Chains A and B, each alone.
Chain A
C-alpha cells in the first residue's frame, strides 16, 4: 500500500472533492503532513507518545480456547488495550501533533460511536488544544457514555440534527464547520476517508497496527505470516492500518462490513465527504442511512483505498449480520475473557462463520484486529439480552 498517485488517487478512487474554499486548507494539511512524516523529530515525538501515553505496542494474543474449538489458529491484535479503548488513538495522536506543528489551537472532529471523539478529546487535553466534536443526535443517545467521557475531557459535543442524525450527517456538518474556521482549527478526521491527504495520512498513522502485528506474527507463527488477516470496516482505518503491514505478503486480506452498511458489497461508486469511493445509495443517488448495531460501522461509505484494494482483488470485503455480531461478542467473552467492541466483533463473527463452513481450512492461521473494547456497548447489549 503506497502513497496515492496524482490528485490523491488510489486507482480511480480518492481525490479531493471539496468546495474551493477548502482547497487551500487541504493543500496545507498535505504539505504539513509530508513535511512532518519526513521529519525524524516528529516521528520520534509520535512514537514516544504512542509508547508512554497510548500503551503501544499492543500485544498479539493467541485465542487459545477459540482456536482449539475452531480448528483454526486465531491471533488477536489487541487495539482494545490501547489508551481510550480503541485504535482511534493512534491516528488522533498523529493528527493532533500535526495540528500543533501547524500552529492550530483547536481540533474539530466527527464521531459515530464516540470512540474517535473520545480519542480527539483526549489528545486535545494532552496537548492543550480545545476540541469540538460533531455527533448525530441518534448516536448521542445510544452512545451516551462516550458523550459523557468527551465532556469530562473538556470537549464540546455538538448535536447534529440534520438528515438521519448519524455519522454521515455529523461528517457533513464537520466539513461545513471547517470552512468557517480553517485558520485556527484543524479538522481531525476519524477514518481513512475525506479529501486527500486524509485517507493516506490516516492509513500511515494506523500503519503501526500492521507493522507491530507483522513482527509479532513472525515471532508467534512457524510460517511467520498468517494465512488470513481480518479486520472490521466502517470507514476502514483499523483495517487499512492492519492491511498495510501485510500487503506485501501472501496473506489474504479480509475486510468485514456491517450487513446494513455494506458500501462495497451493496453499494456503488459515489462522491461524498471529499472523495470518490463506494457508498450505499438509492436509485436516485441519494446516500442511504446505514443500519448497524455497531455505531462505529454505521457509515454508508468506505475509504477510497479499500475501494481500490477491492477492485484490484487484493482484499476481499464480506458482511456479517447484527445477530452474528452479538453471538461473536459472547463467544469471545466466554472463551477468551475478552469483551470486544461491537465493531471489532464483526471481524470475529466472519472468522467464526468461515471456520464453520471450512472457508477457512482447518489448520489455517488467522490474525484478527480487535479494534476496540466492548465496555462502551454495555447498554446496547443489555437492551438485547
Chain B
C-alpha cells in the first residue's frame, strides 16, 4: 500500500490558533470550476484575509443550495467540473490557509470513502463538509477522513435538538458549521435574530471554533454573526459577484471589506 502524502495546512490547528489569538474567522466559499480562472479567486481570498477557504464541488441535485450557488454549480457543471478536474486544478494551488471541500454525499460515496479522502488529502485539501450526510450516517466517513488527515466538519442547525447539538459539537473536526437559519444558502437582507443564541449554545459544548454560515451577505452581517460565533462563512454574496463577472481583484476587494468589518 502506498501512503498518500498529506499536504496543505491543517484546518483545526490553524483556525484554533487564530481564534485563540483573538481573531474572528472568515471563510469565503468558491464554487470549483465556476470560471476558467477560478483558482485565482482562491488566491485572492487568501491574500485578502481569509482564514480558510471552502470550495464547492457541484452536484446536480444541490438540495441545500439556494439560487445563487445553484447557478454557480450549473455553470461549473456545464464547464465539465468533476472531482477529477477539481483535484487536477488544486494540484497547482498552494496556499497558507487550509482548503475545505464542500460536496454532496453521493459524489464522495460512489468513489469509495477512503479513496476520495486520500485523493483530496493528496491535492492539499484538509477539510470536508458533506451537508446531506447527517450525524446518524456519518461514522464511516469520519473514519475515512481521519485516516487521511482530513477534518470532517459537521453541520448543526437551529432545529437540532440539544442532544444532537452536543453530539455534533463533540464529533465535528476542524470547526462546527452552524447554519444560521432554517433556509438554503443564499443572500438575505438580515441575519436571523436566533443565530447568535444557538451559536453560543454550541460553544458551551465544544472548544472547537464555531462558524456561522448561510445568508451572511454583508460586512455588517459578518460582524454581527462573529459577535456570538468565532467567525463566519460567506458563500452566495461572493458567488453572486463572481457570476456577475467579478475578477480576482474584485473578490479580494469584497473579502477585504468583510475582513475589515470582522477586525473592527
Contacts and interface: CB of A to CB of B under 8 A. Distances in A.
A269 B61 contact: no
B63 A19 contact: yes
Contact of B157 (A7, A21, A171, A286): A21
Interface stretch (B134-142, B143-151, B228-236): B134-142
Interface string B181-196: 0111000000000000
B134 to A, nearest CB: 5
A269 to B, nearest CB: 7
A59 to B, nearest CB: 39
Interface centre among B77, B104, B110 (most CB of A within 10 A): B110
Contacts of B110: 268-270, 281, 285
Instruction: Provide the main secondary structure of the chain B interface.
Output: loop
B82 A17 contact: no
A175 interface: yes
Contacts of B168: 20
**Interface residue range, chain B:** 35 or more
A21 B74 CA distance: 24
B63 A175 contact: yes
Contacts of A270: 106, 110
B87 interface: no
Contact of B106 (A19, A20, A285): A285
A162 B105 contact: no
B84 A284 contact: yes
Nearest to A8: B136
Interface in A1-60: 7, 15-25
Interface in B46-64: 59-64
B91 interface: no
A182 interface: yes
B119 interface: no
Interface stretch (B158-166, B198-206, B219-227, B252-260): B158-166
Interface centre among A7, A18, A269 (most CB of B within 10 A): A18
Contact of A172 (B63, B107, B161): B63
Instruction: Provide the main secondary structure of the chain A interface.
Output: mixed
Nearest to A284: B82
A271 B182 contact: no
Given A21-B182, A23-B160, A7 B137 contact: yes
**Interface residue range, chain A:** 20 to 34
Contacts of A286: 59-60, 77, 82
A104 to B, nearest CB: 15
A159 to B, nearest CB: 13
Contact of A176 (B59, B60, B64, B82): B64
B83 interface: yes
Contact of A162 (B70, B134, B155, B161): B70
B160 A271 contact: no
B179 interface: yes
A180 B84 CA distance: 34
A7 B140 CA distance: 14
A309 interface: no
Contacts of A176: 63-66, 184
Contacts of B83: 284-285
Contact of A163 (B60, B133, B157, B164): B60
A21 B158 contact: yes
Contacts of A23: 134-136, 157, 159-160, 164
Contacts of A25: 159
Interface centre among B74, B110, B132, B154 (most CB of A within 10 A): B132
Given A172-B63, A180-B184, A284-B107, 6 more contacts: A7-B136, A23-B159, A175-B63, A271-B104, A285-B82, A286-B77
17 contacts: A17-B132, A17-B137, A19-B131, A21-B179, A24-B161, A162-B67, A163-B60, A171-B61, A172-B63, A268-B110, A271-B105, A274-B132, A284-B107, A285-B107, A285-B110, A287-B60, A287-B106
Interface of A: 7, 15-25, 162-163, 168, 171-172, 175-176, 179-180, 182, 268-274, 281, 284-287
